[in-house]
Amino acid sequence: MCTLPTLLRFLPIVLFVALPFGAGAAESVGTVSQVQNQAQVGSAAAVVGRSVHMNDRLSTGANARLQITFRDKSVLTLGENANIVIDRYVYNPAKSTGEVALSATRGAFRFAGGGIERLQKKNIVVNTPNAALAVRGTHFWAGPVKGKYGVLLLKGKVRVSKR
């Protein structure tokens, strides 16, 4: 018969084995690659190397810049006073599918596609307060122009629809 002290000694081992690896830890979709002045990932200060996850809110202050490099080497750069949420990020080169969905509520940003550009089935969408952008090229800039969001397409195509 086991005594209580004997059982307590094995409790940490039992708990460790019972919990799945990575429990509660969301998979990283990228990392912070550059920071200038005040910027945040969620509620934490942005620092180079910090992991970025789906549903993270990225924000910058005055005179600030924040650059995120996604797993496929796509790069998202936020200008000053920007606020963007990573709603969805999928990169599956084995199935040649990828998806990026961002919600931009203020500020300017630039997106430059990496490996996602070479996929057969890719879907890149940016939702803004004024419009939804369905991007068919993967290099573009978006930001405030006369109180609304403007888009400068650097490579590819973009379809703009009302929200």
Determine contact, residues 26/54, Cβ cutoff 8 Å: yes
Q: Is residue 21 part of a domain?
A: no
Q: Is residue 20 part of a domain?
A: no
Which among 30, 14, 27 is positioned nearest to 69, based on CA atoms? 30
Q: Is residue 130 part of a domain?
A: yes
**Tens digits of residue pLDDT in 5-54:** 554 454 444 433 333 334 445 789 999 999 999 999 999 999 999 999 99
pLDDT at 110 over 80: yes
Read off the pTM: 0.77
CATH code for the domain in which residue 75 is found: 2.60.120
| Mean pLDDT, rounded, for 53-66 | 97
